[in-house]
Amino acid sequence: MRPTNKKKFYLTIITLSVLIGAISVFMLYYFNWNVIIQSYLTHEGALGVVLIISSRIIILSGMVIYTFYKWFKQEKQYFSDLPFLFGIFFLFLVFGKTLDLFADFIYFELNETLVLSVLKTRYFIMILDFLPMIYLSSEMILFSFSLRPKFNKLTNEESRDKISYRLIFGILFIEFIAGLLAPSVRSLTIYYPIIIIPSLITIFWLFRFAYKNKRLSQVNTLILTFGFGAYLISQIIRPLAQFIIGESDVFLIFAESIDLIIFLVIFLGFYRESKY
């Protein structure tokens, strides 16, 4: 397939996927609109929650457009390219936030079975959201091992790729099974930090390693190290703060505002190049 035809094919697939996802989200809101409105009217801080999460969705959508635009501007497109990986990362986050907003309004209005289904979908999106960064992290971890004499077999790129794919498949399999078997909303909420925190530690290590070893020069690894480090800290603190303060509208607005600032920093790290 010629490069031009490949671009058109990739663009078509991405566009169709986004349209299908957008239609699915629209239908979800449409069929539960009365419940959402009822919940909105009974929560004093609902407007603030809508505004801050909607702002995140709009800003993240802009990030998605920019990253994919940058990817398609390249002469050739590879799925291991940083613009593509960041584009997928931001894209899944957009859909994740639309479900977060939906879940915030239907949490106390629908029966637990329906709420659990929505939260499981959000859980699976979260797993896919971190997949691009986990892939990049596994590649970098294996590369770091290849620098040591006793792991000289890893100097072969094909061998590293095989190990990386098996590792990612194993992680995905375990996480998906755990999500499918989650018996209640409470058990699923416990899974979130168990999945997110180790993933963020790995991603934080990735950009710290890249900065120390002057790799991934097409992005600013120092800013990304600070950005994902801040995101890691916020995700560690958030469950504790939520347990102490409770799931109030004020808490949601504050937490979402902090995450919005953090993701602006992460995007800045992607936008700027390292000066090695």
Per-block average pLDDT, block size 10, for the chain (276 residues)? 77 94 93 87 84 93 94 88 92 93 78 79 88 85 78 74 84 85 79 83 90 90 95 85 71 88 94 86
Closest to 192 (Cα-Cα) out of 132, 237, 239:
239
pLDDT for residue 19: 96
Q: Which domain holds residue 262?
A: 3-271
- Inside any domain, residue 276: no
Tell me the one-letter amino acid at 195: I
Query: Which stretches does DSSP call E strand in 174-240?
Result: none
pLDDT for residue 76: 86
User: How far apart (Å, rounded) are the C-alpha atoms in residues 204 and 225?
Assistant: 6
- Inside any domain, residue 212: yes
pLDDT for residue 147: 75
The alpha carbon of 240 is separated from its chain's Cα centroid by a whole number of angstroms, namely 21
What string of DSSP letters covers 13-68? HHHHHHHHHHHHHHHHHHHTHHHHHHHHHH-TTHHHHHHHHHHHHHHHHHHHHHHH
Closest to 98 (Cα-Cα) out of 14, 27, 176:
27
User: How far apart (Å, rounded) are the C-alpha atoms in residues 239 and 233?
Assistant: 11
- Inside any domain, residue 107: yes
pLDDT for residue 207: 92
- Inside any domain, residue 93: yes
Query: What's the pTM value of the predicted model, to 2 decimals?
Result: 0.89
pLDDT for residue 27: 93
pLDDT for residue 93: 93
- Inside any domain, residue 111: yes
- Inside any domain, residue 113: yes
Q: How many domains does the chain have?
A: 1
